Amino acid sequence: MIKENLFGKTKEELQAIALELGLPKFNGSQWAEWMYKNNADSLEDMHNVSKKAKALIAEKYTIEKSKFSSVQESVDGTKKYLFHIRGEHFIEAAYIPDKDRATLCVSSQVGCKMGCLFCMTGKQGFQVNLSTGEILNQIYSLPEFDKLTNVVYMGMGEPFDNLNHVLKSIEILTADYGMAWSSKRITVSTIGIIPGMKTFLDKSKAHLAISLHSPFEEERKKIMPIENVFRLPQLINEIKSFEFGRQRRVSFEYIMFKDFNDTKKHVDQIARILNGINCRINLIRFHPIPGTPLLGSDEATIIKFQNELKKKGIVTTLRASRGEDIYAACGLLSTKELIKRKEEEDF
Amino acid sequence: MHQSDKHSLGDIELFPVSITKKEYLGEDAYVLYFKKTFDFTPGQIIAISMTKDEPPRLYSISSSPKENEIAILFKVNHSGFLTPRLANLNKNDQMMVSKAFGSFYGTKNADYWIAAGTGIAPFISMQKFDLARNKTLIHGGREENSFYFSNLFQNTDGLKYIPCSSIMDKPPFYKGRLTEYLKNEDIDVNKSFFVCGKSEMVVQVRDILINRGVDYDQIIAEIYF
């Protein structure tokens, strides 16, 4: 019999399992604290759980976390961890230390359905959604776990296409029974799955990042097929209708593509559509992926673009490129592994 | 909290409709019909769920705006959340739908249409709305009955229909996957290419087209999310 993994279940789910096993409900709360607060790796680590209870649990359940299968380290300290999932898939998590912060970029899916023209992960197509445990495992099994200050859901996959597991993982990160992190330490990035975004905004307090990449609908459609489904004006309207409050941040990610989205016309339109939204823009340098027709804007254009946006009163940051020497851009490493494996299969 | 607390997909509410007809196409593929109560443009999609409390899924409309019923083509994914239940629906049963949205619109130009599996759905709608003239439809499938609505396309004046299958070795099939057709056969790289299907197929097709010299501006993709 395949045993079900307890790691990744919320306190409420664990309490239900306790009751199902004929144990007191509070046992579920104990297990949650052992796994998520104390990072217990097995039932044996749960010292205040009785032997009898452990035996009952072990009949049907297990606690399983998996170690990364490989790691690459950049000269700038960025580390790219590769995890094997369910024996046949690969996901990536990027650890990015920076002065007083240490951020982990986690994946939410193996592959991605969104097919953005500039994305390496999209070239894998979609394989599977990660479970809550598989999302959390990237965090809990990290050698630098104790140093982490922030988590961003910006790795492989579209988080709002796997909303329930992403929300449950955020619950465990922020709950008293879990890591008890402030929601302000967590950012979830989306390309604009509007229904999922609305649910996320209502059910979580974590920050939101939106992949904008063009302020023009027709132009955005050329590089992001999602625009054919959830249109930019509707997305912006939804953001404008939500009361973010003072603690919660919405930001827009903007990859700079040469001669595509880096002109004064784009600055003006960004200012127009974001008018009334208290937000920031993160400009990102583009490092071409194999086979893409897009090129990155040059440094002078990027700086000029940033300054023009600032003049419009928009808080604009330029994200430092990290881990370039280890293919830290999302999807590159795992796609290489996938291709390698497929080539091996073909022979 | 959102100022609007209605259960909706974006600004679009879900509402109940009754099934008027169910058609089985073979190979676990079905078409469900319900009475048209809203307007749409060929290429648009709707959200569908069984109840208002569960997350909807998106489907392209396969009927024409000129028809009185709206049709949805789907294939059962046996481990899926919605399609096994959709397949069990019968006449007069209810499901929840949204109004139409999306902007994968057809044109009257001499474009290429490229589809695999149920990705053919928006092109059925476009064909029925008289947008098929001057088009080249490259349709990927496997067995003969996986080329949904192939009769419709084979009998369309002005449409060049190219069914591609790696296992079918008789006319009118091109023997090979649609990706092989796009790699090896003559295509007019100056035309627009409308592509619909799963992400793997769309991404592969896009890479091939770009590699053959098609400007990415000219590739319009609808991915089944």
Query: How does strand B12-26 pair with strand B94-98?
Result: antiparallel
Q: Which domains, ranges and CATH numbers included, belong to chain A?
A: 4-62 (1.10.150.530), 70-346 (3.20.20.70)
Residues of chain A with pLDDT > 70, as a percent, come to 93
Whether ipTM exceeds 0.90: no
The domain spans of chain B are 8-98, 112-223
**For the domain bounded by B112-223, which CATH number is listed?**
3.40.50.80
pLDDT, mean over chain A: 91
pLDDT higher for A344 or B12? B12
CATH 3.20.20.70 fits B8-98, yes or no: no
Name residues whose C-beta falls within 8 Å of residue A344's C-beta, 6 or more positions apart in sequence.
none
Q: Which residues of B touch A243 (CB under 8 A)?
A: 1, 3
- pTM equals 0.90
CB crowding A320-344: b at 16 or more within 10 Å, else e: eebbeebbbbbbbbbbebbeeeeee
- State yes or no: is A343 an active-site residue: no
- Residue A210 near residue A201, CB atoms below 8 Å: no
User: Is residue A347's pLDDT more than 80?
Assistant: no
Cis-peptide, bond into residue B172, ω within 30° of zero:
yes
B57 Cα to chain A: minimum distance (Å) = 11
Measured in angstroms, the CA of B122 and the nearest CA of chain A are apart by: 13
pLDDT in tens, A96-135: 999 899 999 999 999 999 999 999 888 888 999 999 999 9
Say if the Cβ atoms of B225 and A241 lie within 8 Å.
Answer: no
Q: What is the pLDDT of residue B12?
A: 55
The CA angle A321-A325-A326, to the nearest 5 degrees, is 100
Identify the three-state secondary structure at position B199.
helix
Active-site residue, from A105, A116, A330, A337: A330
Q: Is the distance from CB of B154 to CB of B74 less than 8 angstroms?
A: no
Higher pLDDT, B188 or A86: B188
With a cut of 80, say whether residue A238 has pLDDT above it. yes
Q: Which of A122, A234, A237 sits opposite B199 (nearest CB)?
A: A122
Give me the pLDDT at residue A327, please: 60
Angle at A174 between CA A168 and CA A176, to 5 degrees: 110
Q: What is the pLDDT of residues B158-183, one digit of tens each?
A: 999 999 999 998 999 999 999 999 99
Packing angle between helix A232-241 and helix A194-203, nearest 10 degrees? 10
Instruction: With a cut of 50, list the residues of chain B below it in pLDDT.
Output: 1-11
Q: CB distance A201–B2 less than 8 Å?
A: yes
Q: Check residue A246 and give its pLDDT.
A: 85
Predicted local confidence at residue B8, as pLDDT: 37
Residue A308 amino acid letter:
E
Residue A12 is among the residues annotated as catalytic for this protein:
no
